[in-house]
Every structure is written in C-alpha cells, then in structure tokens.
Amino acid sequence: MKIYRFLSADDTSTFCHKVTDALNKGWELYGSPTYAFDHANGVMRCGQSVVKEAEGEYTPETKLGEQ
C-alpha cells in the first residue's frame, strides 16, 4: 500500500528533525514544502508531505507514523 503523511511544526529546527527522521525511516518527500504564518499563535509554521510504500492493506485504523 502507499501511505501519506503531512508533517507540520513551528519554524524551528524541530521541524527539520521531524522531516529528517521520516526520510531516514523510508518516507519520501512528496511535493514542495509549505510555509505560512499561524495568526492564532503568532508564529511561522512549516509543512511537508511525505509518502511511503508499506506492507499490508490500508484501513482508517492504520497508524501512519508507525510505518
């Protein structure tokens, strides 16, 4: 099955570490990163889509972060 995740976090090194961790677990970048101002919290936020081929069959109960 092909699985998809959207990673997001405040614009800090934590976001880069989150994406790097996913890449090292076999996820691949999908599309361009996003960058936007979060008015509610007054911070810039980053986002990146990632995809991965995984064993099994997808169900809504699939824990994407554990793949």
Residue pLDDT, tens place only, 9-60: 999 999 999 999 999 999 999 999 999 999 999 999 999 999 999 988 888 8
**How far apart, in Å, do the first and last CA atoms of the chain sit?**
11
Q: Is residue 42 part of a domain?
A: yes
| pLDDT grade for 2, boundaries at 50, 70 and 90 | very high
Q: How far is CA 1 from the centre of its chain?
A: 17
Is residue 26 included in any domain, yes or no? yes
Q: Which domain holds residue 9?
A: 2-56
pLDDT for residue 59: 85
pLDDT of residue 46: 97
In a domain, 63, yes or no: no
DSSP state of 56: S
pLDDT at 41: 93
pLDDT of residue 5: 95
Domain count, the chain: 1
> CA 52, CA 57: separation in Å to the nearest integer?
13
